[in-house]
Amino acid sequence: MKTGALIITGGDTDREKVFEPLHKIGGTSILRRLITIFHLAGIDTIVVMIAEAQRKKLEKEAARLGVVFLTVEGDSKEMFDYVKTGLAYLKETCSQVFVTPVDVTLFSSDTLKDLLTYDRKLVVPVWQGKKGHPLLIAQDVIPSILQYKGDRGLAGAVKESEYKLTLAEVKDPGVVLKFDQAVENQDILVNHELNRWRPVTRLQIAKETVFLGPGVRQLLQLIGNTDSVQLACRQMGVSYSKAWKMLNTLEEQLGYEVVVRRQGGRYGGETSLSERGRQLLEWFIALEKECDAAVKEIFSRNLLKLMDSQK
């Protein structure tokens, strides 16, 4: 069962200033903090919905974090339009999706893992009687949300769904704290998991030069989803020329074709993964997970040694 995450940075139902996702809590932006929390919960498919005017600076902030950037066509500023666009993208590849606005940023990865244990179609975390974020939506529910025509946004779509909303009691006040409240609650911030040591790994494969790593892996994944290098570039925030340089280097070092190019198509041509390209992608994803697990075990064991030596 594959889980995705949808972070809404664009859209404003009050049609006032769009909330600034680059505001910092502690030493990092709220956007980067949220992405990291989802990664720590084992969620790698993350879509960030952005306003077009913010695209360049948000792509720069989240560079190399492996997220997909999407925006809403036209001039809509309604948050629900951003939600629907993100869900429409994720419904094809994810069996369930976490949805959260960017300004709720102090929930923990353990809370996300707990919410995933509920075998329900709609799950919302509740702290001391208050509903919070993120909302967990099963793939089966997404079509009805996309078809909702009312004026109450996601809350209205959820209420009209045929599936009952499950209230999941949690011990995590971070699910209800918005940005301004989080800044005021320094005790929660100081004890948040991102203020604890953790290993950060980045697996790369090389011969004469590095040819395969997280960036190439994401590019291959997006080409597999879109059959378009152009769309893949836009979604991951890299230039078209850089993407082809990555692909050419990969194929030169491997000695075989990873992508298949076809003339024509909606975007002037199609590029899909070759069979060997798909096999390579699956192998590298599995290798990343195995290496990450091994590093975490080694780190935990050696951290205990350090702590013992400093007593």
At residue 19 the predicted structure's pLDDT band, cuts being 50, 70 and 90, is low
In this structure, the answer to whether residues 92 and 180 fall within a common structural domain is yes
Residue carrying the six token digits 């300004």:
103
188 burial level (CB within 10 Å; 0-12, 13-18, 19+)? middle
At residue 25 the predicted structure's pLDDT band, cuts being 50, 70 and 90, is confident
pTM (two decimals): 0.89
In this structure, the answer to whether residues 185 and 241 fall within a common structural domain is no
In this structure, the answer to whether residues 245 and 143 fall within a common structural domain is no
Q: Each residue of 114-124: pLDDT tens digit?
A: 999 998 999 99
The CATH number of residue 27's host domain is: 3.90.550.10
- Domain assignment of residue 254, yes or no: yes
- Domain assignment of residue 306, yes or no: no
In this structure, the answer to whether residues 140 and 231 fall within a common structural domain is no
At residue 75 the predicted structure's pLDDT band, cuts being 50, 70 and 90, is low
Mean pLDDT of 39-52: 93
In this structure, the answer to whether residues 213 and 168 fall within a common structural domain is no
Count of structural domains within the chain: 2
In this structure, the answer to whether residues 103 and 235 fall within a common structural domain is no
Can you tell me the distance from the alpha carbon of 100 to that of 160, in angstroms, rounded to the nearest whole number? 20
- Domain assignment of residue 100, yes or no: yes
Give the domain range for residue 210.
Answer: 205-285
Q: Are 174 and 188 in contact (CB under 8 A)?
A: yes
Predicted local confidence at residue 181, as pLDDT? 79
Q: Each residue of 129-167: pLDDT tens digit?
A: 999 999 999 999 999 999 999 989 999 999 999 999 999
The CATH number of residue 249's host domain is: 1.10.10.10
Q: Each residue of 168-221: pLDDT tens digit?
A: 999 999 999 988 777 677 778 888 888 889 999 999 999 989 999 999 999 999
Average pLDDT over the chain, rounded to an integer: 90
Residue 165 neighbours by CB distance under 10 Å: 16
- Domain assignment of residue 131, yes or no: yes
Mean pLDDT of 241-261: 95
In this structure, the answer to whether residues 33 and 85 fall within a common structural domain is yes
Q: Are 120 and 114 in contact (CB under 8 A)?
A: no
In this structure, the answer to whether residues 69 and 161 fall within a common structural domain is yes
Angle (CA) 41 47 51, round 5°: 135
Domain end among 195, 218, 236: 195
In this structure, the answer to whether residues 187 and 278 fall within a common structural domain is no
In this structure, the answer to whether residues 273 and 189 fall within a common structural domain is no
Sequence-ordered list of residues with C-beta below 8 angstroms from that of 201, at least 6 positions apart, any chain: 291, 292, 295
